[in-house]
Amino acid sequence: MMRRAAISLSVLCLTLALPAVALAAGSTSATTVGDTPTGHDGTLTGMFIVAVSIPAFLTVMTLIDIARGKHTNRHQH
């Protein structure tokens, strides 16, 4: 059960991260004035999304473990 959830959440994270990376890589055709590029660069946005998704993924996995009773002090015999 946990492996399926981990795989599903990994796929979800990649689904969100890969378009952000592709958008950041493809946004090199910004309109320039002189040597200064103008327009929105999605690199920082993509990095922020990836950086936030890692702790969010770990939080969700921990909550699932808590709900299933994996983080309790009582031991099942």
Provide the percentage of residues in the chain whose pLDDT is more than 90: 1
At which residue do the structure tokens 């004035």 appear?
Answer: 33
State the total domains in the chain: 1
- Could you tell me if residue 76 is inside a domain? no
Give pLDDT, residue 44.
84
Report which of residues 13 and 32 the model is more confident about: 13
Structural domain for 56, as ranges: 2-25+42-68
- At 72 the pLDDT is 62
Is residue 54 a part of any domain in this protein?
yes
pLDDT at 27: 60
When pLDDT is cut at 50, 70 and 90, the band that residue 22 belongs to is confident
pTM: 0.40
